[in-house]
């Protein structure tokens, strides 16, 4: 099967060092505008992946993101934002990056080149058939991720992936591949740019849609969010006042007593109907 890395193809632009800042910004922005359209072409694939994830999590499974470099960091970011946003436990969505925690801030040389290490890292979490593993790699050729997905498939674990090349080795390995082809980068090969943006958009879709399907949003509000700062407490109070006929003081008291917006609203309604 033919496989061309469009993420590595030469930029449509040249002599970047001769461009003014304004020209650089206009051209980068021009390229960035194409990313949502590329994602749109993959909505059906994203939907299939989400529909595979939801029942697994409903039945006690977990969602793992795996990647190296920028892709790995994006997975870690998305996973780490699920508990504060949706009030789920920190072990429901887990981001794993080649090279471990150190690699989140600093590149770890050759960490992504091991075919065995990804599966070893998953085993640290006692992974089972109840779980789902989504590999993330712009190139679709990262050995760390491909090796992990292969072992997952052998062990009956559901696999998906997010890549920016068609027919990549990783895409062929995943049961539910998402292939968002964004084309050559503005700086040749710098896949932290359009490819990274595409991966972030898809991750946003996956985690948000999954959490909504799991009942973690009411109406359009994050009723289970963690109240970890004054801004979020204020948002929580306003959400309560939108939902039930109470003043700010009562809403604040309900929130303090119940710990989250959902609990505060339910407490009020139960008391009223009790």
Q: What is the pLDDT of residue 225?
A: 87
Asked if 65 and 148 count as a contact pair (C-beta separation under 8 A), the reply is: no
230 or 102, greater pLDDT: 230
When pLDDT is cut at 50, 70 and 90, the band that residue 103 belongs to is confident
Determine the Cα–Cα distance for residues 146 and 71; give it in Å rounded to an integer: 14
Determine the Cα–Cα distance for residues 118 and 173; give it in Å rounded to an integer: 14
- pLDDT tens across 35-87, in order? 999 999 999 999 999 999 999 999 999 999 999 999 999 999 999 999 999 99
Structure tokens, 123: 């085993």
Q: What is the pLDDT of residue 135?
A: 98
Instruction: Tell me which residue of 70, 62, 215 sits closest to 128, measured CA to CA.
Output: 62
Q: What is the pLDDT of residue 273?
A: 52
Q: 194-213 and 21-32 are packed helices; what angle lies between their axes, rounded to 10 degrees?
A: 40
Q: In what order do the strands lie in the sheet with 93-97?
A: 93-97, 63-67, 132-136, 158-163, 176-179
Asked if 71 and 197 count as a contact pair (C-beta separation under 8 A), the reply is: no
Local structure of residue 13 (DSSP, 8 states): -
- The total of other beta-carbon atoms located within 10 Å of residue 100's CB is 13
- The total of other beta-carbon atoms located within 10 Å of residue 1's CB is 7
Say whether pLDDT at 185 is over 80: yes
Determine the Cα–Cα distance for residues 193 and 269; give it in Å rounded to an integer: 48
When pLDDT is cut at 50, 70 and 90, the band that residue 110 belongs to is low
Structure tokens, 37: 């359209």
Say whether pLDDT at 260 is over 90: no
The Cα angle at residue 199 between residues 198 and 201, in degrees rounded to 5: 65
Q: What is the pLDDT of residue 2?
A: 67
Across the strands, what pairs with 180? none
- The total of other beta-carbon atoms located within 10 Å of residue 48's CB is 15
Say whether pLDDT at 88 is over 90: yes
Say whether pLDDT at 272 is over 80: no
pTM (predicted TM-score): 0.91
Q: Which residues contact 65 (CB under 8 A, 6 or more apart)?
A: 75, 76, 78, 79, 93, 94, 95, 96, 134, 136, 203
Residues annotated catalytic, as ranges: 81, 112
What percent of the chain shows pLDDT beyond 70? 97
- pLDDT tens across 200-248, in order? 999 999 999 999 999 999 899 888 888 889 999 999 999 999 988 999 9
pLDDT mean across residues, the chain: 93
Q: What is the pLDDT of residue 1?
A: 59
- pLDDT tens across 159-176, in order? 999 999 999 999 999 999
Q: What is the pLDDT of residue 106?
A: 78
Q: 261-273 and 230-243 are packed helices; what angle lies between their axes, rounded to 10 degrees?
A: 30
Distance of CA 36 to the CA centre of its chain: 16
Q: What is the pLDDT of residue 108?
A: 74
């Amino acid at each position: 099967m033919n496989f061309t890395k469009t993420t590595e193809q030469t930029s449509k632009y040249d002599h970047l060092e001769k461009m003014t800042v304004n020209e650089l910004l206009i051209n980068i922005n021009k390229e960035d505008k194409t990313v949502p359209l590329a994602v749109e072409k993959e909505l059906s694939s994203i939907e299939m992946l989400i529909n595979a994830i939801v029942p697994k999590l409903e039945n006690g499974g977990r969602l793992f993101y795996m990647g190296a470099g920028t892709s790995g960091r994006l997975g870690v970011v998305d996973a780490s934002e699920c508990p504060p946003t949706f009030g789920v436990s920190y072990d429901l969505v887990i981001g794993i990056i080649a090279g471990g925690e150190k690699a989140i801030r600093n590149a770890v040389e050759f960490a992504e080149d091991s075919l065995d290490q990804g599966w070893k890292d998953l085993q640290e979490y006692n992974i089972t058939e109840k779980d789902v593993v989504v590999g993330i790699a712009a190139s679709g050729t990262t050995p760390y991720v491909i090796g992990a997905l292969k072992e997952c498939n052998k062990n009956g674990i559901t696999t998906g992936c997010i890549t920016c090349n068609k027919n990549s080795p990783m895409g062929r390995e995943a049961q539910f591949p998402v292939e968002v082809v964004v084309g050559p980068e503005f700086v040749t090969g710098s896949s932290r740019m359009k490819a990274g943006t595409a991966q972030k958009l898809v991750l946003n879709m996956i985690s948000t849609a999954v959490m909504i399907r799991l009942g973690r949003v009411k109406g359009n509000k994050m009723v289970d969010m963690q109240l970890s700062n004054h801004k979020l407490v204020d948002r929580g109070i306003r959400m309560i006042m939108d939902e039930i006929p109470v003043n700010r003081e009562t809403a604040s008291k309900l929130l303090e007593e119940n710990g989250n917006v959902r609990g505060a609203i339910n407490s009020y309604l139960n008391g009223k109907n009790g």
